[in-house]
Structure 1
């Protein structure tokens, strides 16, 4: 069920990405190895056990909605939910599949609604989504008109979730998720019209290296869409937590918007600007029936919810856009 044949064939027709085919199949095989992911056989089995149901409709423009409950028998719907729950936790969404709502931890549709007004027209664009999770925003980008979307995320479980849904969205759709990090991409690609990096920068030990890697994915004039955690402050202000932040371990730099714009200019981007600033709410990130682990309410100080449990400012997320030189 996790099959990249259509992607490999499609890349043959994109000159800027054709050379990647020399190493890409080996990269995929290494990163989807049971030696690396002990639970991968179980995740694959859940995907392969999904019932065969033909959706009567697919909606990608205003949400991600696949088919209707009447497309399937009660037994098929029961099996569908049973197998999809084996891929817990579901973090990005929401999804509706044959009437079954997957209520994910994040209301990723809210983030998309904040980003969408600031995107260059998406029609016929080649799009890369870095750290895309299970690919929710990949499908929304395709629904907005992109000609091909490639998501990358090193988590094999997210890849399994993506291909569970692609079973019903259609193998022929030019949207794929590779089990890779950005460091696996060939240097200086200069191929994509739009590159998303949303919720990634603060996990990178070297933010400047990440920004340069993002720049190298873009063709001249291509658009970067960067979403990350920020702090209030002016030029030069940046929080570097010594320990955890909101119980997260792998976190490094939380700049002010002015500082981040300066970093983008230093890395060669043109006209970096902050287009949205949003305090993460308990309605946007929360524990659900499809994500049983701790979530935002557990990460904030119950006596002072404007701070994390460690005493840092509560999560505030900014969206910045810029163009590649």
Structure 2
């Protein structure tokens, strides 16, 4: 059973196809990232997943519950944090959480206890009685996340949760999400323009462009689709030319070029595993004084697959 299963989701606005046959699954306890340029269809897909927008065709299941047939039951299992802050600024954090908790059907001691747990989780217990209007952007984001967690959802959806926050607040939000995922009791869909956030949190990810999923997999699988070797910079103390000849003969190495008087630049499929091989090959010939690996990254893969031209 999947925490989320979407099949052939399609949505049109007039002549524009915003989402075009998107299918994806999220396993229980899995963190799944959605990446895509502006206007790619991510927000429209999210709106259909959470039941805010009906698909023209296709289906969404939260666990075994069909969003189309049983929308209220499906939504009870989702915690959704939209891009825009969805709080009442003149209410305190505790009052906001009490309001949203009641919408989820919580009341009495159970609600009070859950509010205390959530405030502790997002690190705002000491500011719980202050108006949200007095909060920083990062604090508002944390309360927003807390509101989505009150009812202990099976699936948490975070849509650009760190936009406009300072680095410290951003790290606090990410650390909090990591703690949630470590419990194994919640699944996550995470959208962001920050590649390093998706890499940090997500087990798998999909790249959406022009309404379609154009690539899906782990970071390693996506990078491998594009291809490209790791670049390994090695500084040596010894006979550089002899060392180069020895390294060129290694089956793990695809290319070697000299850089300066004492350095070589290597290309290899798995640069991090190369160091012990080099140490063995160069024994008695040269000593390695520095070793640095530059791997193909997710951002380069994203640009390769979607193109780097700006579009809205």
TM-score (norm 2): 0.27
More strand by share: 2
Bigger relative CO (Cα 8 Å, ≥ 6 apart): 2
TM-score of the superposition, structure 1-length normalised? 0.26
Q: Name the larger-Rg structure.
A: 2
